[in-house]
Amino acid sequence: MNLEKLLKKVEKPAQYLGNEYNSVRKEIRENTIRFGWCFPDLYEIGMSHLGSLIMYHLINEKTEAFCERFYMPGEDMSKLLQENYLRIFSLETKSSMNEFDLIGFTLQYELSYTNILHMLKLSEIPLRSADRKEKDPIIIMGGPCAYNPEPIADIADIIVIGEAEEIIIELIELYREHATNKADFLTAAAAIQGVYVPSAYKTSSRITKRFIKNLDQSYYPQNPLMPHMKTVHDRATVELFRGCIRGCRFCQAGIIYRPVREKSKEKLVADACAIIQNTGYDELSLTSLSTSDYSQFYDLANELMSELENERVGLSLPSLRLDNMTLKILKQIQRVRKSGLTFAPEAGSQRLRNVINKGITEDDLIQSVKKAYEAGWSQIKLYFMIGLPTETMEDVEAIYQLVSNLDHEVYQKRDSQYKHPLKISVSVSNFVPKPFTPFQWSPQDTMESLKMKHQLLKEKFRKKRSVQFNYHDPETSFLEGIFARGDRHLSEVLIRAYEKGCRFDGWMEHFKFDKWMEAFEELEINPEKYTQGTKSTDTALPWDHIDALVTKEFLIREYNKALNAETTPHCRQKCTGCGLQTVEGGGICP
Amino acid sequence: MPMIMRAKYTKVGMMKYLSHLDLVRLFERAFRRAEIPLAFTQGFNPHPMVSFASPLSIGVSSEAEYFDLVLSTPLDAKEFTQRMNDTLPEGIHINAARLYSTNKLTSLMKESALLSYRIEGHSNIPLQLEALDESISSFLAQPEILIEKTIKKNKYKHRKQNKSVTVNIRSLIHSFNIKSVKENFFTAELEIYNYDSGTVKPLIVCQNWIRFSELQICQEDLTFHRTEVCRKNSQESFEAILSSDSYS
């Protein structure tokens, strides 16, 4: 293939080059197992995904297999490939997917499923698992969306439930033994804990998720790949912990990544210093689901600052809960940019915040924003959701009221010594109920109702010049909700919609809602049956055969408390008995 | 005493598809990995002080790109080159460097007076050297070569206006010669002035030449390689800003 001919004609050709700093090259011999890591979205998104980074380097360093990468090509490149009868190619050796033994897709977002089909299609690999032959590569899928594997169960050969660091090594070793016979390999793979093989599945058995028991001993790349072009998160990253103590009832990540497991401060500082040295990044991000909940957060931030200050490396701290201690740290970190700070009250009224168990009060929020403003921040971002269970129009209006009070208390009543402005931006997303959360039984708010709520807020905020108001399209949320709680029938809808030209569904400029509705209609499937929830918690759910190690009793308990607006203390205050406390490696969360 | 390291580097192979901004980021990270003693800008978000000469279009390769980097302490030019080349990716390679003990140099933008390119292309039919020479002579013999250029106006944030202006590019061409012809393939050399008031991309010159002379040359397959960036010396003649393989 004359790649250069294509590169001259496409936008952002840097995304197709490969050979990035710290990318891996291995000699390909007769018996080399070739693994294709696929991210079903653009390079600039995929290169920011920490999980992909870990897996790429883990496979290359810890196994004999050679792991290469595939990303979804841009529409211009797709068109050129199809016009010239070419296949998509790996970044490392420019090979097509058919030359690989194992292909792994990461499922980060329901609306990237059509991109998976497109990447298979552009590789001339049959879309349905049942149609693939012995010579075709084995298609593995995993990631947070795999917790409800049914919508893609006819497409994948193997679905990995939970954290993949150990499973992937086991699968590669197993493949070495059974490379000559696909059926034997799949049968053997199905015996690994955390591996779901839809074609070999026997009803009544359950697939139990895998998690890494000791994160300090788990692999973390010290020479991470560096993107050729600007990506969403273009910086060095260390992962402080997995899991979350908070127990917000809408949050799937907070459940599926249980139990809480922290890395030691020593390991984090050592990793951070090595990564900065090996990459030359000037910014280090401390990531987790709730960074300031790291038990030695203050000491860690101080130590990192004293190690990195001379190198002029800045710290980036996403997912903070702003309490007094955190603000003190933020003030000390000279190089945290004072441009923007994000808060997520999620709901406008106290009652609704109790329903979702977001343990934050209006007064907390006002005090935090006030302190942040007085410490020099001038831009505040506020995240809310609408369409939450039990929500009324009063709850929606309360979003406006809360923002209004905030502006009044912090900015209008500011001390005269503060001259800088306060810009508030309000972002409202539509709540989508997810499996393995207490709201997995709840109806999703309808598109009509969401549109009414948007209208109400739009009108309210129109009068408030200092506030920028953004909201999300209800149609993409509807589709996301369908696939989040969908069943096996959706595999066919997915393929039909793809054949009608749907892809990049998460990108507004490409989303074709009418084509999706046509696909549902032609297959005589009512999409609303997936979003209307269930009357009783006894109803069987499509993901009941997956065991996320959190008991259904716990979820039901939380669901009932939610409906009564009762809160649950976080895991450090009192063990909630979610189920992980009796699991080996789980125990009481730190 | 502030020091400025002026360096010359290549951008070849697949690296020619990096945008200028991607390249700037790549260098900033390579400086840190190579532990170059950097001087930083003031403020909340300090950046190394580095400035580049006339940026290349995406897809154009070069063996003569330049940057000026402010250092906090002196560093031998050879040492600098070696440390950088040890960590730079394939295709980006420093091939000359010079340390200036000053805090002010004439900027590379201002120094760049003449840009030299090697152009390679082909036709669907065999080419003749004489015919190509002649076509260039008559192309250049025109008193004016006018092109339409759109200028993006970004002055007012909400009112983006694009303005179309007519530019004479004949006065921007210093020389244009065919170097060799072999069957369907040819190689040419083009030298273009780089004025404060403007310059022209070699692709635009070639497109106009091909259209003017009605040659059957495949425009899409033309390749451009920058061979040198020259400054005007005190004798008013052109010389490379740094000659290759010189370290001082």
Asked if A51 and A106 count as a contact pair (C-beta separation under 8 A), the reply is: yes
Q: Would the pLDDT of B158 be above 70?
A: no
Sequence-distant (≥ 6) Cβ neighbours of residue A233 within 8 angstroms: A48, A285
Q: What is the pLDDT of residue A337?
A: 54
Place of tokens 């010594």: A417
Please say if the pLDDT value at position B30 is more than 90: yes
Which pTM value belongs to this model? 0.94
Section B27-47 average pLDDT? 90
Q: How confident is the model at residue B215 (pLDDT cuts 50, 70, 90)?
A: confident
Q: How far apart are CA B155 and CA A179, in angstroms?
A: 63
In chain B, what residues touch A12 (CB-CB under 8 Å)? 19
**B221 neighbors B163 (Cβ within 8 angstroms):** no
Query: Using an 8 Å Cβ cutoff, are A155 and A129 in contact?
Result: yes
Please indicate whether, in this complex, the C-beta atoms of A279 and B29 are within 8 angstroms of each other.
Answer: yes
What are the extents of the domains in chain B? Answer: 3-109, 114-240
- What distances in angstroms separate CA A469 from CA A381, A534, A550, one per listed residue? 10, 33, 37
- Picking from B200, B169, B191, the residue whose alpha carbon sits closest to that of residue B119 is B191
Q: Tell me if B30 and A14 make a contact (CB, 8 A cut-off).
A: no
What is the number of helices (H) and of strands (E) in chain A?
19, 17
H-assigned helices in A310-432: 324-332, 350-355, 362-374, 393-406
Tens of pLDDT along A368-416? 899 889 888 888 999 999 999 999 999 999 999 999 999 999 999 999 9
Compare CB distances from B220 to A8, A314, A338 and report the shortest one's residue. A8
Residue B32 near chain A (CB below 8 Å): yes
- Does A17 sit within 8 Å of B14, measured CB to CB? yes
Nearest Cβ partner for B44 among A20, A229, A335: A335
- Per CB-CB distance under 8 Å, the chain A contacts of B31 are 280
CATH class, B3-109 region: alpha beta
* Contacts with B208 (C-beta within 8 Å, 6 or more apart), sequence order: B139, B145, B147, B169
Give the fold, CATH level 3, of B114-240: Alpha-Beta Plaits (3.30.70)
In this predicted structure, what is the pLDDT of residue B196? 83
Q: Which residue of B has its CA nearest to A23?
A: B89
Distance between CA B142 and CA B119 in Å, rounded?
Answer: 22
Say yes or no: B21 contacts chain A, CB-CB below 8 A: yes
Give the closest-approach CA distance of A339 to chain B in angstroms: 10
Secondary structure of residue A302 in the 3-state scheme: helix
> Chain A: residue nearest B40 by CA?
A312
Report the pLDDT value the prediction gives residue A319, as an integer from 0 to 100: 73
Whether residue A17 and residue B40 make contact (CB cut-off 8 A), yes or no, is: no
* Residues from chain A contacting residue B21 (CB–CB below 8 Å): 230
Residues of chain B contacting A7 with CB distance shorter than 8 Å? 17, 59
List of chain A residues with pLDDT < 70:
1, 324, 333-339
B49 Cα to chain A: minimum distance (Å): 13
Half-sphere exposure of A187 (CA within 13 A, CB side): 5
Q: Which residues, other chains included, contact A379 with Cβ-Cβ below 8 Å and sequence gap of 6+?
A: A339, A340, A341, A422, A423, A425
- pLDDT tens profile B113-143: 999 999 999 999 999 999 999 999 999 999 9
d(CA A250, CA A32): 44
* pLDDT surpassing 70 at residue B79: yes
Angle A42-A44-A48 (CA atoms, 0-180°, nearest 5)? Answer: 115
**DSSP-derived secondary structure letter, A162:** B
Helix-helix angle A474-484:A447-462, to 10 degrees: 140
> In whole angstroms, what is the distance from residue A453 CA to residue A386 CA?
8
A vs B: CB pairs below 8 A: 66
Q: What is the pLDDT of residue A14?
A: 97
Encoded amino acid at A460, one letter: K
Domains delineated in chain A? 3-208 (3.40.50), 338-472 (3.30.750.200)
Residue carrying structure tokens 């010389």: B239
Examine the pLDDT at B63 and tell me if it is beyond 60. yes
User: To 10 degrees, what angle do helices A297-308 and A265-279 make?
Assistant: 30
Count how many residues are written for chain A: 590
Whether the domain at B3-109 and the domain at B114-240 fall into the same CATH topology: yes
Q: How far apart are CA B214 and CA A435, in angstroms?
A: 66
Residues contacting residue A69 through CB under 8 Å, at least 6 positions apart: A18, A36, A37, A38, A39, A46, A52, A56, A90, A91, A92
Sort out which chain B residues have CB atoms less than 8 A from A276's CB and list them. Answer: 32
A492 three-state secondary structure? helix
How far is A25 from chain B, CA to nearest CA, in Å?
13
Query: Touching check for B205 and chain A: CB below 8 Å?
Result: no
SS3 state of residue A190: coil
- Widest CA span in chain B: 61
By Cβ distance, the residue of B18, B26, B46 closest to A312 is B46
Phi and psi angles of residue B46, each rounded to the nearest 5 degrees, phi first? -65, 140
Q: Has residue B150 got a pLDDT over 90?
A: no
- Check CB contact of B151 with chain A, cutoff 8 Å: no
B58-77 residues touching A, CB cutoff 8 A:
58-59
CA distances from A104 to A23, A38, A172, A530, B33 (A): 18, 6, 12, 27, 32
B17 near A CB under 8 A: yes
Q: How far apart are CA A74 and CA A72, in angstroms?
A: 7
